Amino acid sequence: MVPCFFFFDRRKRWVTYCLIVVALCSNFGIHAFAPPTTNTVAKTTIPTSSNFPTSSLWNDAAVATTNSLWKQWKNHPRRKRTHTNSQQLAALHAVLPPSVWIVLGHTTIPFSGIPFVMNGTRKGGWYSQIDLPSWTPPNALFGPVWTCLYTCMGLAVSRIVKLSSDPLLKNPLLGLWAFHFALNVVWAPVFFGLQRFRFGLGISYGLVATLGLVMRNFHRVDPVASYLLVPYALWLSFATFGLNVAICKRNPTKNGYNEGMFRAQLIKLQEQAASLAASW
C-alpha cells in the first residue's frame, strides 16, 4: 500500500491522511470524533484520565522521554555557559557597582577612535593643513571636553538602567542609546581616518536626530539623566552645524576626493620618502 500511495492524486492523498489519523486515534483510545455522551447543554464535560484509557507501557515511555529531555536541557552547554556568565557578572558587580562599570565603558570604548584623531590633529598633520573656519577650537581642547562628555553620558545611562523596570537587553530605550553611541564611536574613524567629510556630516546629522529622541525618552524615566546630556547636545550641535558643515563647504568633495585626502596621502608619501632616504 505504501508504494502505491505516492501514485495517488492530491485528493486521494488527503483522504488517506484522514483515514490514517482516524485509525491512530481509535487505536490509542482518543475518541476525538465521537459525539458527546452527555445531554446537558450549559454544562461542559471536562476530560479526565478515565476518559483516555492508556496502557502502562505508553505511560512509562512518556515518562522516560520527559526525563531524558529534562536531563538534556539541564546539562546543555549553552545553559551552563549562561550560568557561568551570570556568575561572572555577579562577581563584577561585587567588585564595583553597575553604575561605575557603565561610566567606565562610556569613557574607554571611544578610545578606539583616538589614534585616528591624534594622527590627524598632530603637529603638521592633514587637519591643520586644510581650510578650517576661524572658530575652530584648539586641538588640545578635544581630549578634556570629550572625556567630560563621555562621563556625563555614562552617568545618564546608569541612572536609566537603575530606574528602568525593563530587562537590560530588552529595553528599547537602551537599544536606541546603543545605536546612537555606536554612531558616535564610528564618526572619528570616518572623519579623521578616512577623511570622508560628507559621510561624517551624515553621521553627525544622525547623531543629532537620535540624541533628540534619546533625551526626550530619558526625560520620561528620569529628568536628571536627560539634563546630564545637555552639554553633549550643545557640543554636538556646535560640532555638526558649526564645524562639520563649514569644513565640507570650504573643502568640497569632487569625484569622491577632497583636500583632506590629498593632504593625508601627501604626508604619507613624504614620510615614506624620508624613511627610504634614511635607510640609504
Q: Can you give the pLDDT at residue 61? A: 62
Q: What cell was used for 107?
A: 569613557
Cα–Cα distance measured from residue 134 to residue 61, given in angstroms and rounded to the nearest whole number: 83
CATH class label, 97-279: mainly alpha
The length of the chain is 280
Lowest mean pLDDT among 65-69, 129-133, 146-150, 226-230: 65-69
| Per-residue three-class SS string for the chain | CHHHHCCCCHHHHHHHHHHHHHHHHHHCCCCCCCCCCCCCCCCCCCCCHHHCCCCHHHHHHHHHHHHHHHHHHHCCHHHHHHHHHHHHHHHHHHHCCHHHHHHHHHHHHHHHHHHHHHHHHCCCCHHHHCCCCCCCCCHHHHHHHHHHHHHHHHHHHHHHHHHCCCCCCCCHHHHHHHHHHHHHHHHHHHHHHCCCHHHHHHHHHHHHHHHHHHHHHHHHHCHHHHHHCHHHHHHHHHHHHHHHHHHHHHCCCECCECHHHHHHHHHHHHHHHHHHHHHC
Q: What is the pLDDT of residues 63-75, one digit of tens each?
A: 666 666 666 666 6
Question: How large is the average pLDDT for residues 211-233?
Answer: 94
Task: Give the model's confidence band at 212: pLDDT under 50 very low, under 70 low, under 90 confident, else very high.
Answer: very high
Selected residue with higher pLDDT from 161 and 246: 246
Selected residue with higher pLDDT from 122 and 30: 122
Q: What is the dihedral of CA 60, 61, 64, 69, to 10 degrees?
A: -150
Selected residue with higher pLDDT from 212 and 60: 212
Question: How large is the average pLDDT for residues 118-147?
Answer: 90
Cα–Cα distance measured from residue 75 to residue 277, given in angstroms and rounded to the nearest whole number: 65
Selected residue with higher pLDDT from 271 and 17: 271
Q: Can you give the pLDDT at residue 229? A: 96
Q: What is the pLDDT of residues 137-185, one digit of tens each?
A: 998 888 899 999 999 999 999 898 888 766 655 678 888 999 999 999 9
Cα–Cα distance measured from residue 102 to residue 174, given in angstroms and rounded to the nearest whole number: 12
Taking 60 as the threshold, does the pLDDT of residue 108 lie above it?
A: yes
Residue ranges of domains in the chain: 1-30, 67-96, 97-279
Task: Give the model's confidence band at 3: pLDDT under 50 very low, under 70 low, under 90 confident, else very high.
Answer: very low
Q: What is the pLDDT of residues 185-206, one digit of tens each?
A: 999 999 999 999 999 999 999 9
Task: Give the model's confidence band at 218: pLDDT under 50 very low, under 70 low, under 90 confident, else very high.
Answer: very high
Cα–Cα distance measured from residue 219 to residue 112, given in angstroms and rounded to the nearest whole number: 30
Q: Can you give the pLDDT at residue 168? A: 58
State pTM to two decimals: 0.64
Cα–Cα distance measured from residue 179 to residue 280, given in angstroms and rounded to the nearest whole number: 50
